[in-house]
Amino acid sequence: MVLQPVAISSGITWVGVLDPALRVFDIIMETQHGTSYNSYLVRGSNGTALVETVKENFADEFLARLRAVVEPQLIDFVVCNHTEPDHTGALLRVLEAAPKATVLASETGVKFLRDMFSVDFPVRAVRDGEEVDLGGRTLRFIGAPFLHWPDSMFTYVPEDGVLFTCDVFGAHYADERLFDDAVGDFAGAQRYYFEVLFSPFRKHLLTALEKIQNLPLSVIAPSHGPVLRREPRQYVDRYTAWAREEAPSEKKRVVVLYVSSYGSTEKLARAIASGIGEAGVDVELINGRETTPLAVMHRVDAADGLVVGSPTFNGRAVSTIWWLLGLVTPIVNRGKPAAAFGSYGWSGEAAYQIEDFLKGIRFNIVQEPLRVRRKPSEEQLAAAAEFGRRFATSVLRAQAKKV
């Protein structure tokens, strides 16, 4: 263990761990700079609280760093602002070492903890605005649900102006220099983190940001990436601006996303797109070979309808299409019109599988899949254009539900 605990203020110490080798987080997020699991010890004259723990496989390193600052038996509270396992994986190990500690979480957080851990431990739900006095240092809880789970909350220490936000304001970025004014350029990592994790929750984010708008802030202490002490207000402003970004929507727009092996599914995609355009709806044709899951997520989130095509390979859609759709979420897209298509050699399951998938993430399937055996004929391309025109009509009629 090279890294020592790091003072955040006179009574608050970083005791987290770095995970610089991590390259993919939660299966979906690329982490080219690794990540960190930040945990903080808060000490008052009458009480001690640990804010978040770390991922389970770092428990030994974490406990060693914690012991360098405090005997764990002296910890009175473990605050779980968010219960995802990257922050609660080491919780049971901490509680073994800190037998008198009570876990504090939001009401939903307490339910999640009970689901996650079969063993009993002292746990208490805290309300929005509730305070716990540690003696000269206070924990004030701020409800911030759906960031990015329903359990999430912030914890504020007014005496130091330190705000613990767990994932919010975080970045997957491991750097031993720890503070934003000492590490390298992490702006891209922070924006990427926002886009993947929080862009579906803009409304909830704006509600939470409004709550902290007038808090005196010396430090924002997230649980991934740099600790933010250089004009922390700038991060609130930045997040507010990002959360307010909305795609212009004067005219309806449809994304046609496809992958194609020998050009047949591409021909269908182009014909469908031309039909959609003829019906007065903007269309964005995306070749799956030339895009990324994040770009697809943005384009689909901003669109009013989605048409997806893939050839059938060995009885299934090609894996690229599942990868590309991996970040598309029902939170933003529930109820939007969707349809599937694809050319095939003999069995042709891909279009049905795509349709099932889109249905599963709450799109509204508005027409039967378009399936064409082998290379499409002129008649079949005309039918594909008609498929597009009918789809556009559904889009023009639809009122997609948005969060």
Q: Which residues contact 207 (CB under 8 A, 6 or more apart)?
A: 144
User: Among residues 169 and 387, whose Cβ is nearest to ligand FEO?
Assistant: 169
Secondary structure (3-state) at 54: coil
Radius of gyration, CA atoms only, the chain: 25
State in angstroms the smallest separation of the CB of 361 from ligand FEO: 20
Residue 151 interacts with ligand FEO (CB under 6 A): yes or no: no
- The DSSP 8-state label assigned to residue 386 in this structure reads H
Torsion of CA 337, 253, 325, 149, to 10 degrees: -80
Kindly give the interhelix angle for 202-212 and 233-244, rounded to the nearest 10 degrees: 150
- The residue nearest ligand FEO at its CB is 84
User: Among residues 81 and 364, whose Cβ is nearest to ligand FEO?
Assistant: 81
Residue 82 interacts with ligand FEO (CB under 6 A): yes or no: yes
User: Among residues 47 and 226, whose Cβ is nearest to ligand FEO?
Assistant: 226
State in angstroms the smallest separation of the CB of 196 from ligand FEO: 11
Q: Which two tokens stand for residue 166?
A: 């767990």
User: Among residues 148 and 252, whose Cβ is nearest to ligand FEO?
Assistant: 148
Among 87, 270, 299, 389, the residue binding ligand FEO under the rule CB under 6 A is 87
Residue 167 interacts with ligand FEO (CB under 6 A): yes or no: yes
The region of 80-88, 110-118, 319-327, 336-344 touching ligand FEO under the rule CB under 6 A is 80-88
Give the bridge partners for 308, in sequence order.
257, 340
State in angstroms the smallest separation of the CB of 337 from ligand FEO: 31
User: Among residues 326 and 348, whose Cβ is nearest to ligand FEO?
Assistant: 326
State in angstroms the smallest separation of the CB of 104 from ligand FEO: 18
State in angstroms the smallest separation of the CB of 86 from ligand FEO: 4
Number of neighbours of residue 267 by Cβ within 10 angstroms: 19
State in angstroms the smallest separation of the CB of 153 from ligand FEO: 13
Q: Which two tokens stand for residue 384?
A: 């594909």
327 sits in which H/E element: none
Size of the site for ligand FEO (CB under 6 A): 8
Torsion of CA 364, 365, 366, 369, to 10 degrees: 170
State in angstroms the smallest separation of the CB of 164 from ligand FEO: 13
Give the x-and-dash track for 36-75 against ligand FEO (CB under 6 A): ----------------------------------------
User: Among residues 243 and 257, whose Cβ is nearest to ligand FEO?
Assistant: 243
State in angstroms the smallest separation of the CB of 194 from ligand FEO: 13
User: Among residues 26 and 356, whose Cβ is nearest to ligand FEO?
Assistant: 26
What is the rounded CA–CA span in Å between residue 206 and residue 274?
Answer: 38
State in angstroms the smallest separation of the CB of 225 from ligand FEO: 10
In terms of Cβ atoms closer than 10 Å to its own Cβ (0-12, 13-18, 19+), residue 203 is exposed
The single residue listed with the structure tokens 């970040």 is: 327
Answer yes or no: are the C-beta atoms of 258 and 310 closer than 8 Å.
yes
Answer yes or no: are the C-beta atoms of 134 and 48 closer than 8 Å.
yes
User: Among residues 25 and 156, whose Cβ is nearest to ligand FEO?
Assistant: 25
User: Among residues 110 and 259, whose Cβ is nearest to ligand FEO?
Assistant: 110
Q: What is the secondary structure of 277-327 as a DSSP string?
A: HHTT-EEEEEEGGG--HHHHHHHHHH-SEEEEE--EETTEE-HHHHHHTTT
Q: Which residues contact 123 (CB under 8 A, 6 or more apart)?
A: 102, 103, 104, 105, 110, 113, 114
What is the rounded CA–CA span in Å between residue 315 and residue 328?
Answer: 24
What is the rounded CA–CA span in Å between residue 91 and residue 89?
Answer: 6
Kindly give the interhelix angle for 264-278 and 378-397, rounded to the nearest 10 degrees: 50
The region of 83-91, 118-126, 278-286, 383-391 touching ligand FEO under the rule CB under 6 A is 83-91
Among 19, 86, 175, 355, the residue binding ligand FEO under the rule CB under 6 A is 86
Among 43, 137, 204, 224, the residue binding ligand FEO under the rule CB under 6 A is 224
Among 8, 12, 39, 84, the residue binding ligand FEO under the rule CB under 6 A is 84
Q: Which residues bind ligand FEO (CB under 6 A)?
A: 82, 84, 86-87, 148, 167, 223-224
